[in-house]
Amino acid sequence: MQLSLTFVTALLLASGAVFASPVDTKTGTTPIELQRRAQLVASDGKLNVSALHHHFQGVENKYKTALNNYKRNTGKNHPLAKQSNTKRATGDVSLEDIEHEQLWAGDVTFGGQTFAIDFDTGSADTLANPGAYNPSRSSNSKNTHRSFYTSYGDGTNAQGTIYTDSFSIGGLNARDVAIGRSSNSFIGGENDNQGISGLAFPSIQSFPKQYPPFFESLRQQRAVSQGVFQFTLKAGGGSSLHLGGIDSSKYSGSISYADVDSSQGFWITDATVNGERITAIVDSGSTIISGPSDQVRSVVSNINGVREVNQGGQTLYVYDCSQTPHVTINIAGKSFTLSRDQTRYGTYDGQCVLPIAPVDGMPLNGWILGDTLFRSASVIFDVDRSRIGFANQA
């Protein structure tokens, strides 16, 4: 049976998926390297279950904070909140994974001080350890006399004062960009990752609205050609964050887009995992795929050869390492089937661990698509058009 072009186009529009071949904008970009912090998977391949559990606690608290911020900023509960919880240019950042594909960080400069920072599409503020940024060393710093408090999990929190200062990343520059200087070290080590920078929408930011996220400042000051950024994350080297446009050398084929509602703060879209429909948040600051327990168990129960184990309060799904479980994510109309390596998130008790886990304490009714998805696709975040795109990595 043959379908007319008009009919096919109508189907694509109805599904919310749009395919495009953007103009190559890689000219004049600059890479920023990222560094890895503590390991979730040891050098012998064994998964540190305790560290994974700690990570998920941090993710839970991150989203609790974000949902509270959303309610404060908008005056209403987030649509996904559980009822119980009320110069024009482009820039490239070379990324290196931290904590075995858990955290992705690169160098930024505030007030002439350069330090490594996590890039997190699941939050919206820029925060730094006290040893990373010192406003007294900058002639451009301004004390806003506004404070902030953010909880990350296991009692870890960042609290301190919001400053504005000159900002540079990948050859892009902006003035009066907001940064929260924490009075306590809340992330990383002395010489490792020393801050976090959010790339979500302003409605979930902790800072007052006059101090927007750094990428919004770049957009407002016309420091970028387009309000677009692109993550291409790979195990090992070659990972990058491209700011202000799309680097066509990072992907093959076409990009498939899905609309997002920027007023909701997160990068949320519909997706399926092995054919089961989910609501997904695309989050570069999280690791494996996670979601509500009942939904995760429904998906995993239909994957051959996978069984559930519990260790230290953390549920894992394990399988014989000689097998490759079938996991396909369909998002924005494009399917990504996890490779043999991508289905293995270390080992536990001699068996391979599936990169999907239930998280009971999450305050929202949605899945978190973290590093596992990012290592399968080149992901384009289009702020200007409120959409998110996915393409096969080159």
State the Cα–Cα distance between residues 50 and 93, nearest whole angstrom. Answer: 31
Low-confidence ranges of the chain (pLDDT < 70): 1-39, 83-90, 92-103, 152-155, 188-193
pLDDT value at residue 95? 61
Q: Which two tokens stand for residue 214?
A: 């750094």
Query: What pLDDT is attached to residue 96?
Result: 53
Question: What local confidence, expressed as pLDDT, does residue 152 receive?
Answer: 62
At residue 52, the pLDDT reads: 87
Which is nearest to 321 in space by CA: 299, 344, 288?
344
d(CA 144, CA 83): 35
Residues known to be catalytic: 120, 283
Cβ atoms 36, 98 nearer than 8 A: yes
Residue 336: the pLDDT is 98
State the amino acid at position 293 in one-letter form.
Answer: S
- pLDDT for 312: 82
* Coil/strand/helix, residue 61: helix
210-217 contacts at long range (C-beta below 8 A, 24 or more positions apart): 211/144, 211/146, 211/162, 211/164, 211/178, 212/178, 213/124, 213/125, 213/126, 214/108, 214/126, 214/167, 214/169, 214/174, 214/177, 214/178, 215/243, 215/383, 216/383, 217/167, 217/174, 217/176, 217/177, 217/178
What are the backbone angles phi and psi of residue 297, rounded to the nearest 5°?
A: -65, -35
Q: Write phi, then psi, for 289 (nearest 5 degrees).
A: -75, 130
What confidence score (pLDDT) does residue 8 get? 30
Quick one: pLDDT at residue 99?
A: 42
State the amino acid at position 195 in one-letter form.
G
Q: What is the pLDDT of residue 311?
A: 87
Q: What is the pTM of this model?
A: 0.87
